Amino acid sequence: MSKEQNKSDPKEKKSVTKLMLGVFTLAVVFNIAASAFDESKQERVRRDKEVEKTNQKCIDEAEVVDASDIFAMMKQNEAALARSWKNSCVTVRGKVRGISEDLRGITVRVDDGQKFNIVDTIMCDPVDEAKALTLKKGQDIIVKGIGGAEVMGSLALKKCDW
């Protein structure tokens, strides 16, 4: 080998150096992003636990309202009721209209027990589906949960328990 072949081209050295610097920079950025994601995930878990604790306290302290009163308020001003219902702590006294299951899981439908009232319903998303399976149609019930959306005359209740 000649001396000229042994010597590296300065341009090649700069290219390799730039490439190595780029790879190192990407590794550092990726590491920072991964640690930030992990911290934000931990923060979300902590915040979710706090919200859950607050929601449970709120649910436990909510005043009991008859389903018939809720439906009467709905007939007077559906928009106002829907707005005050959403994300509020609710405890409702009514009757089990039915228990059904679909792709999202079990839903317990609660109403005021009126035979010819087929529109007004509270759709409950139970915390414990096994507990929901023990309910009977027509059974008196007091349901606690967090108000959800209003859809076509039915009010959603999330995280239900009784």
**Whose CA is closest to 140, among 105, 84, 93, 71?**
93
Residue 132: partners with Cβ closer than 8 Å, 6 or more residues away: 99, 106, 108, 124, 126
Domain that holds residue 78: 64-161
In a domain, residue 21? The reply is yes
CA–CA distance, 38 with 12 (Å, rounded to integer) = 39
What count of other Cβ atoms lies within 10 Å of the Cβ of residue 161?
17
Here the CATH number for the domain that contains residue 129 is: 2.40.50.140
Are 71 and 122 in a shared domain?
yes
Q: Which is it for the CA torsion 134, 135, 141, 147, positive or negative?
A: positive
pLDDT given for residue 20 in this prediction: 75
In a domain, residue 45? The reply is yes
Q: How many domains does the chain have?
A: 2
Are 123 and 145 in a shared domain?
yes
Are 92 and 13 in a shared domain?
no
In a domain, residue 16? The reply is yes
pLDDT given for residue 97 in this prediction: 92
Are 92 and 49 in a shared domain?
no
In a domain, residue 87? The reply is yes
Are 49 and 86 in a shared domain?
no
Are 29 and 96 in a shared domain?
no
Are 85 and 153 in a shared domain?
yes
| Contact between 112 and 68 (Cβ < 8 Å) | yes
pLDDT given for residue 100 in this prediction: 93
pLDDT given for residue 55 in this prediction: 64
In a domain, residue 4? The reply is no
pLDDT given for residue 129 in this prediction: 92
In a domain, residue 105? The reply is yes
Query: pTM higher than 0.85, yes or no?
Result: no
Q: Kindly state the tokens that stand for 96.
A: 């089990």
Are 46 and 119 in a shared domain?
no
Distance of CA 56 to the CA centre of its chain: 15
In a domain, residue 3? The reply is no
Spell out the per-residue pLDDT of the chain, length 162, in tens: 455 555 556 667 677 777 777 777 777 777 776 666 665 677 777 776 776 766 666 667 778 999 999 989 988 998 898 888 888 888 999 999 999 998 889 999 999 888 766 668 899 999 999 999 999 999 999 999 999 988 777 899 998 988
Give, rounded to a whole angstrom, the gap between the first and last alpha carbons of the chain: 88
Residue 158: partners with Cβ closer than 8 Å, 6 or more residues away: 125, 145, 146, 147, 148
Are 33 and 84 in a shared domain?
no
pLDDT given for residue 91 in this prediction: 92
pLDDT given for residue 124 in this prediction: 93
Are 110 and 133 in a shared domain?
yes
| Contact between 135 and 99 (Cβ < 8 Å) | yes
**Whose CA is closest to 73, among 159, 147, 160?**
147
Are 150 and 81 in a shared domain?
yes
pLDDT given for residue 46 in this prediction: 74
**Whose CA is closest to 124, among 146, 153, 93?**
146
pLDDT given for residue 28 in this prediction: 73
Are 40 and 93 in a shared domain?
no
